A and B are shown apart, each in its own frame.
Chain A
Amino acid sequence: MIEVLTNPDKFFEERLKREENLKTPAFIVLLSGMTSGAIAFLSSLMTVGILGGTLPPEAQGFISVMLVGSAVGALVFAFIIWLVVAAILFGISALFNGEGSFKRTLEFVGYGYIPLVIGGIISAALTYHFFSTVELPTVTSPEEVADAIAALMASPMMQLSSVIGMLFLLWAANLWVFGLKHARKLSIRDALITVAIPVAVYVLYSVWKLATLSSTL
């Protein structure tokens, strides 16, 4: 399994000889989803902490539901994103006359989630460290909640977490290049372009968002 990180070209070349199997990729995506769920749980915990005692008593019982719901939602969202990313890459590779099934593409994209699991763990650790040390403000209106969360997200620790997430996304994209090369029988150039388009869009959007947050502080 470690070979997917050290020599992805050879790894996917050998995987192509085997039957399409989504169990391992799904497990990897599950791990990635769990890290996302942990971060979502911490973020929800932060929101509840900001709202403080302003919530009505009848809403207090829903706090735990909201916390678990956000974690599970993030987990499910990871699988949805897996499908969406695979579909986008499958679609773009079709422009380069790519061959191969969507299932194979989905499988190889799933293997590419391994760096995202590592990045997710680091981001979750940083988020936990940040939320455990920061003194959360309390607000009284929804507008102030948005301002408070925006201010928290603009903190250097959270920005570092986002940057690290982007670095591991680039690593994952690198794996997707070799995965698509074999799954869709593309040249390395076409595979690189196929992956670079959506990843570049996402990275640019993330950088713009970080810059916007920094400027609002």
Chain B
Amino acid sequence: MLAAGGVLGNSGSCNSNGLGKSFGCSVFNNSCSVFNNSSNISTWRRTFAMLSFLLLVVVAWGMTGCAHAEDAQKSAIMVTDYWVSPEVLMQGDIGTVTVTVKNMEMARSVYLKEVCMLSREIEVLSKPFLNVGRLGPGESITFTFTVRATCPDGIYYPKILVETEEAETVRYSIPVQVDSTPLTISVENVPEDIFVGERTEIKLAVGNPRLNAATGVRVVAESENIVPSEVFIGELPPDEAGVISFNFTPQMMGVCVLNFRLEFRNGDNSHSMVLNVPLNVAESKKGVELVLTGIEVEATGANSFKITGDINNAGLEAARSVVMRVGTAEGVEGVHPYKAYFVGLLNPDDFSSFELHVKATGSVSEVPLVIEYKDEDGNLFSKIEYVSIGQRAVPTASSEGTHALMVVVLVAVASVVAGAIAYSWKRK
């Protein structure tokens, strides 16, 4: 918020008065100096000529000063203060300009006929204040105008016009600055090596290069497996920066792009921007590595199978709460008693046997087995292994050759039977 105190309604007269006083003192000092050095005639002549010139200047100034004094006596209304909120607008922002109008008369009230704001560059959304009323001696009143920064970056001077009953009009220009420089968000620190299943701290720096403070600053993580999901910074003063950190636990190898959205407010105007952080996730060198071995598939029914085997931890970290279950697929369904198998803690270089019962219908030849485990931080991981159940125990479809042979046999038998029946009726 910008404020300006003690501003005269007519800025021109204010400046003129100040200058006049300054010149007056200068002349008086020079005159004293002249009278102290009067012994030399030539010097006196030069001094006289200079004094005459200065006298003319003083007379001219006196005439002008009298004119301004008369104007100052007429200007009973003054704009004594103003605020712009937010202090610096961004392009497209909506803000407010508040002005304080004061009646400088000590004994006479003034009727305010109209107070309005005019600007070519900045869009004024408020309507003029008409027939405001009478302003008592020494009283002041504030007017708030809503504006929209539809213009390019720069400093603009919308005018405040105050018209009184006596047709006196006071104009005052208020500087409004438009600067669309946004807040910045950048990566402060990211580890060089990022591994699957390992927590990685990502530090982000949020800076405010603007001329005014940004409020409601927060960073939202838009990608998965990031905690916390958002960090609230709050108000960020100008030319200051804040460092925040997120924990990212990748679940898959390869390049993944993390999206962070920076949100802030400039006044009542919300702004946001997105930071993309590409990361290359590699396989963990010391994490959990679960391997299935000794898989045996035994048909226990027409469509039922028992899958047994060992699950081994070939990694260097312990897998906790290991659970195996039959995955979801068309025609595949886990059945009791071992729809799922709880293995529990699986230390490095340790193994455990498992047993799963599955019902496979249709032409299913592979059964997905889902292996779920947690790390020491409680992060849940899962992987899918496919186990082939081979050729179905019950041949539901024969080969084309067998089909052809069956058709031949059927046709031959049908022909023989039909021929025999027909022949018997013919011989009847």
Contact = CB atoms under 8 A, between A and B. Distances in A.
B226 to A, nearest CB: 48
Contacts of A163: 410
Interface string A129-155: 000001111111000100110111011
Nearest to A169: B417
A9 B417 contact: no
B25 interface: no
B300 A167 contact: no
A137 B396 contact: no
B7 interface: no
B403 A164 contact: no
Contacts of A136: 393
B421 A156 contact: no
Contacts of A152: 302, 394
B413 A167 contact: yes
B417 A168 contact: yes
A163 B424 CA distance: 22
A82 interface: no
Interface residues of A, number: 37
B427 A155 contact: no
A7 B424 contact: yes
Contacts of A154: 396
B150 to A, nearest CB: 72
Given A7-B427, A171-B417, A174-B424, A151 B394 contact: yes
A6 B420 contact: yes
Given A136-B393, A138-B298, A167-B414, A160 B421 contact: no
Contact of B406 (A137, A140, A156): A156
Contacts of A174: 420-421, 424-425
B423 A151 contact: no
Interface in A105-147: 115, 122, 134-140, 144, 147
A137 B393 contact: yes
B428 interface: yes
A9 B428 contact: yes
Of B302, B303, B395, B409, most buried by chain A (CB within 10 Å of CB) is B302
Contact of B397 (A10, A144, A156, A170): A156
A150 B414 CA distance: 26
Nearest to A8: B424
B398 interface: yes
Given A9-B428, A137-B393, A157 B398 contact: yes
Contacts of A151: 302-303, 394, 396
B320 to A, nearest CB: 33
A148 B394 contact: yes
A126 to B, nearest CB: 8
A6 B413 contact: no
A217 interface: yes
B409 A164 contact: yes
B301 interface: yes
A208 to B, nearest CB: 19
Interface string B381-402: 0000000000101111110001
A174 B403 CA distance: 29
A150 B303 CA distance: 11
A188 B424 CA distance: 13
B419 to A, nearest CB: 10
Contacts of A41: none
Contact of B301 (A137, A156, A175, A217): A137
Contacts of A217: 396
A5 B420 contact: yes
A168 B413 CA distance: 8
A117 to B, nearest CB: 14
A5 B299 CA distance: 47
Given A5-B424, A170-B417, A171-B417, A140 B398 contact: no
Contact of B395 (A139, A155, A175): A155
A160 B406 contact: yes
Of A136, A137, A167, A174, most buried by chain B (CB within 10 Å of CB) is A137
Interface string B6-42: 0000000000000000000000000000000000000
Contact of A115 (B403, B406, B414, B417): B417
21 contacts: A5-B420, A5-B424, A6-B420, A9-B424, A9-B428, A134-B395, A137-B301, A137-B304, A138-B300, A139-B301, A144-B301, A147-B301, A151-B396, A152-B302, A160-B409, A160-B410, A171-B420, A174-B421, A174-B424, A178-B424, A217-B396
Given A164-B410, A167-B414, 8 more contacts: A8-B424, A9-B424, A10-B427, A144-B301, A151-B302, A157-B402, A160-B406, A174-B421
Give the top 8 A-B pairs by smallest Cβ distance, nearest first.
Answer: A144-B301, A151-B302, A137-B393, A137-B299, A7-B427, A148-B302, A9-B428, A151-B394
Interface of A: 5-10, 115, 122, 134-140, 144, 147-148, 150-152, 154-157, 160, 163-164, 167-168, 170-171, 174-175, 178, 188, 217
Interface of B: 298-304, 391, 393-398, 402-403, 406, 409-410, 413-414, 417, 420-421, 423-425, 427-428
